[in-house]
């Protein structure tokens, strides 16, 4: 990795509770390569910008209405000067000082186009979200990462990923998708023969604490994105196994939380179901069903 420069890209909006810790952990990285930090904010109204101002970053702002998961990452990647571009969520805290080196080390291999690291749930993470993260970002993989037929053994995510700039130049993020620009990118890169590797040693702390309304909206958007990608995952066959494994996990941890876990999964399924069929729903209604209301105001 001699003479390799790295660009760390972070998108922010109202991340005042985590951004300082994220930037502190990045600056504490033990790596022999030079790196820059690029932050693009899309209209924070809390103290996010104030906290960022104390760090050595290249800072940009865009109007909230111009934000898009694929669009803004492409914009930020265009600002980057590094050979490798790191995508890190503003609420994903690197777990140790070797995170960046571990995440980028495999990119030195010629046929490896991208890597992504493990996510570790915070202690207060609800059991259903904890199960999702532990299942999709395990400590080890028994076989190489694959996206074949949607049977992923890990979930490529821009929460914690790295892409060679030369590959991003050829395969940019889809700017039309509401979310899942990362999964779409990985699928297209994989189909073109690029290799993607999961690096569990490049871990970050990251998780969400969604209530029933939020989880419905999150999976509504997921269903919309899968519809946009013309993907038809086997919801029943894959979903039933996932549901049973999740309920077993929740029951082992706290039997009394099983009824809530069932409700949680019903809301997930309903959100995804309606998202897949969003074309039949008026835009004025989709604004209220989606976690990304701005998307429907374009």
Q: If you write DSSP's letter for every residue of the chain in order, what string do you get?
A: -TT--EEEEEEESS-TTTHHHHHHHHHT---SS-EEEEEEES---SSHHHHHTTS--EEEE--GGG--HHHHHHHHHHH--SSEEEEE-TT-EESSTTHHHHHHHGGGSTTEEEEEEEEE--TT--HHHHHHHHHHS-S--SS----GGG--SS---TTEEEEEHHHHHHSPPPTT-SS-HHHHHHHHHHHTT-EEEEEEEEEEE------HHHHHHHHHHHHHHHHHTT----HHHHHHHHHHHHHHHHHHH-GGGHHHHHHHHHHHHHHHHHHHTGGGS-HHHHHHH-S-GGGGG-
The pLDDT assigned to 1 comes to: 52
Confidence grade of residue 231 (pLDDT, cut at 50, 70, 90): confident
Is the pLDDT confidence value at 202 over 80? yes
Confidence of residue 194 (pLDDT cuts 50, 70, 90): very high
Share of the chain above pLDDT 70, in %: 94
23-27, 174-178, 216-220, 240-244 — which is least confidently predicted? 240-244
Q: State the average pLDDT for the chain.
A: 93
Q: What is the mean pLDDT of the segment spanning 181-186?
A: 95
| 145 has pLDDT over 80 | no
pLDDT at 266 exceeding the cut of 60:
yes
What is the band of 152 on the pLDDT scale with cuts at 50, 70, 90? low
Q: Find the mean pLDDT for residues 141-161.
A: 74
Neighbours of 29 (CB within 10 A): 18
pLDDT value of residue 261: 97
Identify the burial level of 51 via C-beta atoms within 10 angstroms of its C-beta, where 0-12 means exposed, 13-18 middle and 19 or more buried.
buried
Q: Is the pLDDT of residue 150 over 80?
A: no
User: What's the burial of 20, exposed, middle or buried (CB within 10 Å: 0-12/13-18/19+)?
Assistant: middle
Split at pLDDT 50, 70, 90, the class of 147 is low
pLDDT of residue 297: 84
Position 240 scores a pLDDT of 86
Look at residue 292 in the predicted model and tell me its pLDDT: 94
Rounded average pLDDT over 111-127: 95
Mean pLDDT value of segment 36-58: 97
Q: How confident is the model at residue 16 (pLDDT cuts 50, 70, 90)?
A: very high
Q: d(Cα 236, Cα 227) in Å, to the nearest integer?
A: 16
pLDDT reported for residue 241: 86
């Amino acid at each position: 990795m001699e003479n390799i420069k790295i660009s760390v890209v972070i998108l922010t909006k109202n991340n005042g509770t985590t951004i300082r810790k994220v930037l502190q952990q990045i600056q504490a990285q033990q790596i022999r390569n030079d790196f820059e930090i690029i932050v693009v904010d899309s209209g924070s109204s809390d103290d996010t910008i104030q906290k960022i101002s104390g760090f050595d970053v290249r800072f940009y702002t865009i109007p909230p209405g111009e934000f898009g998961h694929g669009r803004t990452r492409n914009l930020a990647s265009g600002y980057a000067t590094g050979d490798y571009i790191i995508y890190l969520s503003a609420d994903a805290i690197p777990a140790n000082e070797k995170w960046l080196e571990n995440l980028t080390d495999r990119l030195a291999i010629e046929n490896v186009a991208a890597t992504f690291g493990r996510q570790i749930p915070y202690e207060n993470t609800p059991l259903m979200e904890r199960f999702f993260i532990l299942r999709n970002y395990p400590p080890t993989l028994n076989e190489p990462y694959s996206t074949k037929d949607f049977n992923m053994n890990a979930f490529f995510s821009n929460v914690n990923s790295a892409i060679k700039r030369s590959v991003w130049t050829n395969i940019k993020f889809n700017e039309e998708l509401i979310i899942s620009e990362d999964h779409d990118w990985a699928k297209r890169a994989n189909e073109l023969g690029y290799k993607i590797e999961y690096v569990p040693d490049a871990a970050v702390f990251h998780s969400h604490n969604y209530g029933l309304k939020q989880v419905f909206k999150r999976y509504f958007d997921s269903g919309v994105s899968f519809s946009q990608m013309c993907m038809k995952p086997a919801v029943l066959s894959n979903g039933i196994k996932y549901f049973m494994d999740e309920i077993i996990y929740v029951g082992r941890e706290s039997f009394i939380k099983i009824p809530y876990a069932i409700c949680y999964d019903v809301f997930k399924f309903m959100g995804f179901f309606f998202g897949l069929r969003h074309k039949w729903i008026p835009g004025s209604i989709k604004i209220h069903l989606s976690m990304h209301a701005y998307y429907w105001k374009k």
